[in-house]
A and B are shown apart, each in its own frame.
Chain A
Amino acid sequence: MSSRSTRRILDRAFTGLGGFSTLLLAAALLVILVPILIKGFGAFVFRETVEHRRMLLDLYETGDRAAVETEVAAAAKAREPVYAMLGAFKKEVEALPAPERRKLKSDCKDLEKALNSLLGPAPGTTQPILLRQRYGQNRWDRAQVAIGKVLYEEAYDYSDSSQMGKKILVPRVERFRGTSLEPLFDYVRDQSKAMLLPRWIFYGGFLTHTSRDAHFFGGIRAEVLGTFYLTLGAMLFAVPMGVIAAIYLVEYARDNWLNSLIRSCVSTLAGVPSIVFGLFGLAFFINTIHVSGSKSVLAGSLTLGLLILPTLIRASEEALRAVPHTYKQAALSLGASPWKSITTVILPAALPGILTGIVISMGRAAGETAPIIFTAAVSVGQPLTLLKTLTQPTPALSWNIYNLCTEHEAVDEIRHVQYGMVFTLVLLVLLLNLSAIVIRARLSRKLRV
């Protein structure tokens, strides 16, 4: 009796443990994915300001010119009091005694900088050289940060000498108490919507627009295209090689030392760190056989192809081995040559498994970073035409996510681009894996009744 109840307890415990670990895994996935997806979604759906519409019209020629011009005019009208107050204040300052004048002038310069960042260059001033300074805040969420910088300035509180200075926010209006600029701050706070006209939009151009001025404006076309080229190239190289190698190993290779050596090499290669593949790609494809003068999509594709080759071979091998031996016998007994039996019976029957392997390695190729750092990826670049992939490097999602998060000059200002890229990559890989499942289910249903 007791052994039976022990068995039952153990059984329950095991079931519980299994369920618990599955739940834990799902929870971890949610904790990671949900914030990424939500924040990444913000790259596509957000409240755009009139500055964004103006930028889109100027740089990408999208949008209704007449409507945008009307809105720009309306916004300019709302901004008029700001510039009027500034003009009046500047005249007022000239009449003041020198020390006070100098101080207020410098304060005013800081204020103007904050205002330019919010609204763009003041009317009547010369066009700034940097593209990023030619427009005010594109996104309402960023605009609110910029409004904060107009209304408040950072200062340090040194009153407690035992501690480091503490960062505090001081209302900027204090500096202009009693001057004609005092009402400006209330005006900016209350009329910000009239000056920027925020509106919800879906910005599909995030995928199709080329970034301008290092991702300050526009989308991620070059990165998406780069990832597409790299993945496609890797598949073009690896799929035929992988499937043929698997056919050789399953159907033709005899059991001798050479073939078992090949098999263990394939298994070992599957476990080699991807950075090693990157180094190999640089050393072999670029420096030794010179497929291109320097980094190029071609070299990157070959390296990625090499990286996924072992996975592909193993998946195809498994799929081919799972085909019942009787199919081959039947084909041969009907007068098929071994090769014919493979192409007409064995490969079609193994296709669901092979396709799953292909799609999963496609996801891997799309997301790998280390191999392309050495062989194909650049931080900033234009979208490539097909022919240029033979010689030119490209930005790609995986590498540029890292690059934009660590090496960009204004990391904080382009958070939405970073998350948008991660979102796109995660979605791409999820989609590929999902399609693997669907393809497999469909083909299996077609083959098995």
Chain B
Amino acid sequence: METIAEARSTRVVDINNLNIHYGQKQAVFNVSLGIVRQQVTAFIGPSGCGKSTILRALNRMNDLIDHVRTEGSIRLDGEEINNPMVDVIELRRRVGMVFQKSNPFPKSVYENVVYGLRIAGLRSRAALDEIAEKSLRSAALWDEVKDRLHDSALGLSGGQMQRLCIARAIAVNPEIILMDEPCSALDPKSTVRIEDLIGELRRDYTIIIVTHNMQQAARVSDCTAFFYEGCLIEFGATKQIFTKPEQKHTEDYITGRFG
């Protein structure tokens, strides 16, 4: 029997010696790190450092890209996800994703939220309604859209759309939510709302966020991983990374000397 404290500190994702190649070009070199349950982990680093590639490896979205080769091990709750026997669909239900550019479907707000449930075969109207409301409330969007649930989602503002995508991701009740620069296309006000939301969501979900915004990483995350040219340079508590980084490289990047 684990204590609650122990469970909280368990690593939910364990990455070991991860190497990812795009055709001939290697994008990720020997990365090993552990993601702790119900914490926010930020991936930072200059463009092209491989952080988004690692993020997409976690729900195997890299499979969609031709000629991608993944080596090494990624364990989710101790289970190897790169095993060909793994059900990718099941994996993606457990590891949700929010994209850089908000991408609601050209359907109503309601249909967007319940999409994952519908394709999973949930038919009960009452259950769908309940989860839709709960998810929209969790995404801090309910009050704004409750009167226009059946209007097109494409009529929402940019920030609302991104929160809708978050609501859609949490509706299928994943363990982990991957966020790939979720605020990069948003104005400062919407960004603050999303950051507040991330603070709320960490109570129930494990969140991994890729960001270019140092302040954002400092504000929202518990742990930070700094990548450079496909290598993990430093990984630790955010406070420590941002105040006294061990690596010179990390310090240079955080203080804006390059990147």
A contact set with B: CB distance below 8 Å: 254, 324, 326-337, 340, 344-345, 348-349, 446-449
Q: Is B97 an interface residue (CB 8 A)?
A: yes
The stretch that binds A, out of B6-14, B39-47, B85-93, B226-234, is B85-93
Known: A447-B106, A447-B152. 17 other contacts (CB 8 A): A326-B101, A326-B103, A329-B64, A330-B99, A330-B103, A331-B115, A332-B61, A333-B61, A333-B99, A334-B115, A334-B169, A335-B93, A344-B119, A348-B107, A349-B105, A349-B106, A448-B152
For the complex of A and B, list the 7 residue pairs with the smallest distance between their C-beta atoms, beginning with the closest: A326-B103, A335-B93, A334-B116, A333-B97, A447-B106, A449-B155, A330-B103
Q: Can you list 11 contacts pairing A with B, beta carbon distance less than 8 Å?
A: A326-B103, A328-B64, A330-B99, A330-B168, A331-B119, A332-B64, A333-B59, A333-B99, A334-B119, A335-B172, A336-B119
| Interfacial residues, chain B to chain A (CB-CB below 8 A) | 59, 61, 64, 66, 89-90, 92-93, 96-97, 99, 101, 103-107, 115-116, 118-120, 152, 154-155, 165, 168-169, 172
CA of A87 to CA of B144, assembled, Å: 96
* Total residue contacts A-B, CB cutoff 8 A: 73
Nearest chain A CB to B114 CB, angstrom units: 10
The secondary structure that dominates the A interface is helix
**CB distance A348 to B106 under 8 Å?**
yes
CA gap between A327 and B154 in the complex, in Å = 12
Q: Which residues of B contact A449 (CB under 8 A)?
A: 152, 154-155
Which residues of A are found within 8 Å of B169, using beta-carbon distances? 333-334
Most buried by B among A332, A333, A337, A447: A333
**Which of B90, B92, B152, B155 sits near A332, CB closer than 8 Å?**
B92
In the bound complex, CA of A352 to CA of B105 (Å): 15
For B90, the closest partner residue in chain A by CB is A335
With contacts A324-B103, A326-B101, A349-B106 taken as known, whether A333 is within 8 angstroms of B154 at the C-beta atoms is no
The answer to whether B101 and A344 have CB atoms under 8 Å apart is no
Assess the B97–A336 pair: CB atoms within 8 A: no
User: Does B165 lie within 8 Å of A330, measured CB to CB?
Assistant: yes
- CB pair A336–B89 under 8 Å, yes or no, is yes
B152–A329 CB distance below 8 A: no
| Complex-state Cα separation, A88 to B245, whole angstroms | 130
Closest CB of chain A to B25's CB: distance in Å?
Answer: 18
A446 neighbours in B (Cβ, 8 Å): 152
Q: What residues on B are CB-neighbors of A327 within 8 Å?
A: 103, 105-106
A328 to B103, CA, bound (A): 10
Question: A113 to nearest B CB, angstroms?
Answer: 72
Nearest chain B CB to A259 CB, angstrom units? 13
Bound complex: CA A328 to CA B101 (Å): 13
**Knowing A254-B66, A326-B99, A327-B103 touch, does A334 contact B168 (C-beta < 8 A)?**
yes
Distance A335 CA – B115 CA, assembled complex (angstroms):
10
Complex Cα–Cα for A333 and B154 (A): 19
The residue on B at minimum CB distance from A255 is B66
Bound-state Cα–Cα, A322 to B61, Å? 21
CA distance A344 to B119 in the complex (A): 8
Min Cβ gap A362→B in Å is 25
Decide: A335 near B152, CB < 8 A? Known: A329-B61, A330-B103.
no
CB distance from B118 to the nearest CB of A (A): 8
Bound CA–CA A349/B104 (angstroms):
12
Q: For residue B115, which residue of chain A has the nearest CB? A: A334
Tell me the nearest residue of chain A to B152, going by C-beta: A449
Cα of A447 to Cα of B165 in the assembled complex, Å: 17
A448 touches B106 (CB 8 A): yes
Q: Which residues of the partner chain B approach A345 to less than 8 Å between Cβ atoms?
A: 105, 115
The minimal Cβ–Cβ distance linking B146 to chain A, given in whole angstroms, is: 19
Please give the distance in Å from B113's CB to the nearest CB on chain A.
10
Whether the Cβ atoms of B89 and A333 lie closer than 8 Å is: no
Residues of A within 8 A of B105 (CB): 327, 330-331, 345, 349
Q: How far apart are A376's CB and chain B's nearest CB, in angstroms?
A: 41
Closest to A335 in B: B93
Chain A residue nearest to B168 in the complex (CB)? A334
**Chain A residue with minimal CB distance to B102?**
A326
Alpha-carbon gap, A335 to B165, bound state (A)? 14
User: Which residues of A sit under 8 angstroms from B116, Cβ to Cβ?
Assistant: 334-336
CB distance from A324 to the nearest CB of B (A): 7
Q: How far is the CB of A187 from chain B (nearest CB, A)?
A: 76
User: With A344-B115, A447-B106, A448-B106 in contact, do A333 and B96 touch (Cβ < 8 Å)?
Assistant: yes
Q: Whose C-beta in chain A lies nearest to the C-beta of B151?
A: A449
